[in-house]
C-alpha cells in the first residue's frame, strides 16, 4: 500500500500494548517483538501478495522466503508459520492451489520452522503469504534504526525485482529470461543473518516494498547522522538497468516510494531513471546491514560460499539527517 496513505489512515489509532512489548509498529521496524520472559521473546510478522511470477510452486516459495525475511532481519530464528491464501473459486485450479501451498511449505522446512495451519478466503485475485513467528533472546534483538557514525552499509542481494517482475507481467519477458532474479527471490536471508551473530552489528533490515531508499530512510529517520550512498557500488540485475534506462515497466510502487521519501534525499547529479531503480519495490530482497568499519572485511569473508554479490554500498556520516547519493 502507498506508504503516505497508510501513514494517514493509522495516524490517530491507539493500539493495545503492554510493558512486555519490546518492538511494535510505532518503531517502523521489520517485525513486532513481545517478551515472554527474561530469556525469551517472540517475534511476529506477516506478508502476503499477488503472484509475482506465474509458476505456482515457485511463487509459493518466494512468498514464504519473503515472509520469513523480517524474522531474519531482526536476528531471530523462525519457529512456526500459518498460511494465508486468497483464491478465486470460479476458476478453481486445485493443482495450482496445492503447488503454491507446497512451495511455501518447502521454504518453511528449509528455514527449520513448522507450519501449524492457515486460512483461505475466496477472492477475485489470488494472493498468498504467511504469518511467521520467531524466537530470540530479548537482549539479542537487531533493530533497524541504530546506525552509528563511521559504520559501513552492506547489501546482500541485487536490486531490480520490481521492475523485472512488472516487465514479466506485461509480457515482454519470460520466466526463463529472469532465472537469476527468481533464484535471488528464492534465497532465504538465513545465512547472512546467522553469520552476523559473531559481529557487533549496529542495525539490520531487509529490503522489500519500500525499495532500497525507503528502507534506508526507515533506518536513518530521526538519527543524528546521515548516509553517503555510493550508487555505483550497488548491485542491480542487468536487465533492470536496461528497462529503467528506457523508463519502461516502472512499478506503481516506485512512484509512491519516491513521493514519500523525496525530501530526505540529496540526489546530486543522479539521473531520474537511476533514482527509479533505487526506489524499486523489492520482493524477497536482501539484508541491509550496518557494521563497524573494522569488521566489514571479516564479515564479507565469512560469506565466501554465499551465491549472490555482497556489496559495501554506503557509510554513516556525521552530517544532516539525510541520504546523500554519491556518483
Ligand atoms: Co522488513
Ligand atoms: Co514485511
DSSP letters, 24-48, are -GGGT-SSEEEEEETTEEEEEEEEE
Whether 3 shows a pLDDT value over 80: the answer reads no
The rounded Å distance from CA 170 to ligand 1 centre is 27
Segment 243-265 shows an average pLDDT of 93
The rounded Å distance from CA 269 to ligand 2 centre is 32
Q: Check residue 5 and give its pLDDT.
A: 85
- Residue 319 is classified by DSSP as S
How far apart CA 270 and CA 146 sit, in angstroms, is 27
Whether 322 shows a pLDDT value over 90: the answer reads yes
CA 140 to chain centre: 20
The answer for residues whose C-beta is within 8 angstroms of residue 84's C-beta and 6 or more apart is: 46, 48, 118, 119, 120, 127, 128, 129, 130, 131
Q: Check residue 1 and give its pLDDT.
A: 76
Q: Check residue 41 and give its pLDDT.
A: 98
The rounded Å distance from CA 143 to ligand 2 centre is 14
Asked if 245 and 277 touch (Cβ cutoff 8 Å), the reply is no
Q: Check residue 170 and give its pLDDT.
A: 94
**pLDDT interval class at 66 (50, 70, 90):** very high
Q: Check residue 130 and give its pLDDT.
A: 98
Whether 86 shows a pLDDT value over 90: the answer reads yes
Give per-residue pLDDT as tens, 18-35. 999 999 988 888 899 999
Ranges 24-28, 225-229, 233-237: which has the least confidence: 24-28
The rounded Å distance from CA 221 to ligand 1 centre is 16
Q: Which residues surround ligand 1, an ion (CB under 5 A)?
A: 30, 70, 206
The rounded Å distance from CA 294 to ligand 2 centre is 30
The rounded Å distance from CA 47 to ligand 2 centre is 6
| Residue located via cell numbers 569473508 | 301
CA quadruple 268, 272, 275, 279: dihedral, nearest 10: 140
The answer for residues whose C-beta is within 8 angstroms of residue 232's C-beta and 6 or more apart is: 327
- Residue 194 is classified by DSSP as H
Give per-residue pLDDT as tens, 158-207. 999 999 999 999 999 999 999 999 999 999 999 999 999 999 999 999 99
Nearest to 150 by CA among 284, 23, 290, 313: 290
Whether 92 shows a pLDDT value over 90: the answer reads no
Cell of 257: 516510494
Q: Are strands 77-87 and 114-122 parallel, antiparallel or unpaired?
A: parallel
The rounded Å distance from CA 282 to ligand 2 centre is 11
End-to-end Cα distance, the chain: 31
Ligand nearest to the CA of 206: 1
Whether 2 shows a pLDDT value over 80: the answer reads no
The rounded Å distance from CA 323 to ligand 2 centre is 22
Ligand nearest to the CA of 207: 1
How far apart CA 284 and CA 184 sit, in angstroms, is 8
Q: At what angle do helices 56-73 and 94-110 cross, to 10 degrees?
A: 30
The rounded Å distance from CA 30 to ligand 2 centre is 6
Ligand nearest to the CA of 193: 1
Ligand nearest to the CA of 142: 1
Most confidently predicted of 14-18, 90-94, 317-321: 317-321
Ligand nearest to the CA of 189: 1
CA quadruple 163, 167, 168, 171: dihedral, nearest 10: 170
Give per-residue pLDDT as tens, 102-138. 999 999 999 999 999 999 999 999 999 999 999 999 9
Using DSSP's 3-state secondary structure scheme, residue 253 falls into helix
- Mean pLDDT of the chain, nearest integer: 95
Segment 52-56 shows an average pLDDT of 95
Q: Check residue 4 and give its pLDDT.
A: 80
The rounded Å distance from CA 42 to ligand 1 centre is 16
Amino acid at each position: 500500500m502507498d506508504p503516505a496513505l497508510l501513514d494517514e489512515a493509522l495516524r490517530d489509532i491507539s493500539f493495545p500494548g503492554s510493558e512486555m512489548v519490546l518492538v511494535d509498529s510505532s518503531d517502523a521496524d521489520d517485525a513486532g517483538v513481545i517478551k515472554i520472559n527474561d530469556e525469551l521473546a517472540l517475534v511476529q510478522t506477516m506478508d502476503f501478495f499477488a503472484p509475482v511470477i506465474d509458476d505456482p510452486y515457485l511463487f509459493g516459495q518466494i512468498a514464504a522466503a519473503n515472509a520469513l525475511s523480517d524474522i531474519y532481519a531482526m536476528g531471530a530464528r523462525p519457529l512456526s508459520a500459518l498460511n494465508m491464501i486468497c483464491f478465486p473459486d470460479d476458476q478453481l485450479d486445485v493443482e495450482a492451489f496445492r503447488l503454491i501451498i507446497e512451495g511455501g511449505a518447502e521454504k518453511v522446512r528449509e528455514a527449520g520452522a513448522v507450519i501449524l495451519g492457515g486460512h483461505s478466503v475466496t477472492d477475485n485475485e489470488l494472493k498468498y503469504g504467511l504469518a511467521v513467528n520467531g524466537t530470540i533472546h530479548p537482549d539479542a534483538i537487531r533493530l533497524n534504526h541504530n546506525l552509528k557514525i563511521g559504520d559501513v552499509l552492506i547489501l546482500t542481494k541485487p536490486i531490480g525485482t520490481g521492475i523485472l517482475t512488472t516487465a514479466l507481467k506485461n509480457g515482454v519477458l519470460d520466466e526463463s529470461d529472469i532465472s537469476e532474479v527468481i533464484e535471488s527471490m528464492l534465497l532465504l536471508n538465513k545465512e547472512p543473518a546467522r553469520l552476523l551473530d559473531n559481529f557487533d552489528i549496529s542495525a539490520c533490515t531487509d529490503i522489500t516494498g519500500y525499495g532500497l531508499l525507503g528502507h534506508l530512510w526507515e533506518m536513518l529517520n530521526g538519527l543524528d547522522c546521515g548516509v553517503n550512498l555510493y550508487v555505483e557500488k550497488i548491485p542491480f540485475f542487468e536487465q533492470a538497468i536496461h528497462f529503467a534506462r528506457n523508463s519502461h515497466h516502472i512499478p506503481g510502487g516506485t512512484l509512491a516510494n519516491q513521493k514519500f521519501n523525496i525530501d530526505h534525499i540529496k540526489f546530486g547529479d543522479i539521473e531520474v531513471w537511476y533514482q527509479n531503480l533505487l526506489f524499486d519495490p523489492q520482493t524477497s530482497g536482501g539484508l541491509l546491514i550496518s557494521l563497524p568499519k573494522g569488521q566489514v572485511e571479516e564479515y564479507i569473508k565469512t560469506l565466501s560460499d554465499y551465491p549472490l554479490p555482497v556489496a559495501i554500498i554506503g557509510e554513516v556520516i556525521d552530517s544532516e539527517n539525510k541520504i546523500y547519493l554519491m556518483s
